[in-house]
Amino acid sequence: MADGLDCIHIRDLKFRCIVGINEDERIEKQDVVANVTLWADLKQACLSDNIDDTVDYKTLKKRILDMAESSQFLLVEALTQAIANLCLNDVRIQQVKVCVEKPTALRFARTVGVEIVRARG
């Protein structure tokens, strides 16, 4: 997606949170799955083999989970944007793609999801 940048993928990050507009969705936490792709220049990290030269995805994952599990968004769109914003707080990340899915949102469908792409600046 982003020319000259490398990707880090966080796939199938599972958590539970309040998200939805229906009464029952405002009471019980629901299963949610997020997929996050981060674009950053990883050349220095590839050469140095030093965590300080890359995106610390373990720390980022914890921040996403802490924010999402304590959130109470009405829309999956807003939750998705909040995750993107959190990722872009790391100055090394130039672009992010976030897909958030609610597996139990629609009867007869495996899942429903929202996917957005956001870039720095």
pLDDT tens digits, residue range 40-51?
999 999 999 999
Residue 4's pLDDT is what?
A: 87
Is 102 labeled as catalytic in the residue annotation? yes
Name the residue type at position 87: C
Strand order in the sheet with 93-102: 72-73, 6-19, 30-40, 93-102, 112-119
| CA-based max dimension of the chain | 52
CB within 8 Å of 43: residues ≥ 6 apart: 6
Residue 121 has pLDDT above 90, yes or no: no
Catalytic residue among 29, 61, 97, 102: 102
Domains and CATH numbers, the chain: 6-119 (3.30.1130.10)
CB within 8 Å of 78: residues ≥ 6 apart: none
- When pLDDT is averaged across residues 8-17 and rounded to a whole number, the result is 98
